[in-house]
Amino acid sequence: MKSFQIPDFYRSPLISAIKSARKNADKMKKDFTPTRLDFGPLEIFLARHFGFCYGVENAIEIAFRTVDENPGKRIFLLSEMIHNPQVNADLQKNGVSFIMDTKGRILTPWEELNADDIVIIPAFGTTLETEQKLRQIGIDPLKYNTTCPFVEKVWNRSEQIGTKGHTIIIHGKPDHEETRATFSHSSVHAPALVIRDMQEAQLLAEYITQKKSSASFFIDFEGQYSAGFNPELHLQFIGVVNQTTMLASETQGIADYLKGVIIQQFGEAENHFADTRDTLCYATNDNQSAVQGMLSTEADLAIVIGGYNSSNTSHLVELCEKKLPTYYIENQDNINNENSIRHYDFHLNQEKNTKNFLPQSDKTRILISSGASCPDAIVEKVIQKLQGFYPNSRPVSELIEQFQ
């Protein structure tokens, strides 16, 4: 796989040594057992796969190269490059401004832009409508385009099934940048509908089987369907694609469920359901499988690191919290020296503070993973912060030597 040039301050000597050693020992990536870091009184079990994925490294390389190659020019990001506060803050320190926030609210009015400005499309991609606005200003929206290739793969697959007469069902969060972009790119080829979860898939099934009146469809799925959507006509042939950062098992479960409903309603002979399982992102799969493998290890607690608005990170938290106390943090600063931790409850959309989160025992065991947009350097800093609670623990330098 291609190597990217990303700033050294995102890298970690410890994590780089671990990832290199694991890759050399398991080139096919079939071993999902965690990496054990034995500090003595503290044991940390690090997920087999975590941190920057291909699409994130690609976006970071393009963004920083764009800054370096265009001194004196105004450079804008359409919205957050990725869902990591440090990376976005680093770009702002380098003079990059934002046009929109993650919800699509305007921060820099369109009329303030001109044809000489540079606009970087984030890793999530953008809508066709936004691309057209940029062209009208005189800005080529694809010149500095960091859209993840795996997101573009979803768009291509949507086009394929859409042009063959299938309605495109998108499993995703309706207000997420990637889902808004996928919806836009899909709906030019076929009717499109966003569903959030299995509950909405089951609700949709009632319209596929015509158990519910089509009139209530527009209330149940308000703001989630394309213009001219006709539930009586457009739910006879469907295919499911996904926001690439969703829980992979949930997307597959939804696709399998809707396929069963379609077959029961229309039979198998006329291909009423398009198989689209190849739109699941490899990094999402790997990171989630690695967390599942990590959870077989006995531990006192889990820490998951990433931006609070990171969809893929929240799903790693979701997996962990089913088994043990789990703390969702952005970086090492969330851990207080007084043995308290400030962490995010994504169910309630609020931060909490938990005191005495580290158990008072002779041996503490902690599981750690991070989202696809979290720099390895932050993971190492979290490990070092935790190590600081145990004065007699082994130094990080010894562990680096162990994996070299």
Q: Return the structure tokens found at 252.
A: 């597959």
178 is catalytic: yes
- Report the distance separating Cα 368 and Cα 176, nearest Å: 26
Number of H helices, E strands in the chain: 14, 15
Q: Which residue has the tokens 């596929």?
A: 208
- β strands within 5-83, DSSP E: 35-38, 42-46, 75-77
Cα torsion angle, 204, 317, 322, 335, sign: negative
Q: Cα–Cα distance between 340 and 26 in angstroms, integer? A: 37
Residue (of 307, 319, 237, 226) closest to 271 by Cα position: 237
Instruction: Give the Å distances, CA to CA, from 250 to 153, 200, 207.
Output: 19, 12, 21
R_g over Cα of the chain: 23
CB 146 within 8 A of CB 122: yes
For 225, which DSSP code?
B
Q: Are 299 and 36 in contact (CB under 8 A)?
A: no
Tokens of 158: 């949507």
Residues 73 and 95: beta-carbon distance below 8 Å: no
Are the CB atoms for 305 and 65 separated by under 8 Å? no
Continuous H helices in 121-176: 128-137, 149-163
CA triple 304-397-45, angle to 5 deg: 30
Six-digit token pair at 140?
A: 């080529």
Catalytic residue among 57, 178, 200, 380: 178
Could you tell me which residues are beta bridge partners of residue 350?
345
CB 222 within 8 A of CB 193: no
Task: Give every CB contact of residue 154 below 8 A, 6+ residues apart in sequence.
Answer: 182, 241, 242, 244, 279
The sheet carrying 96-98 orders its strands as 96-98, 75-77, 118-120
- Give catalytic residue positions: 178
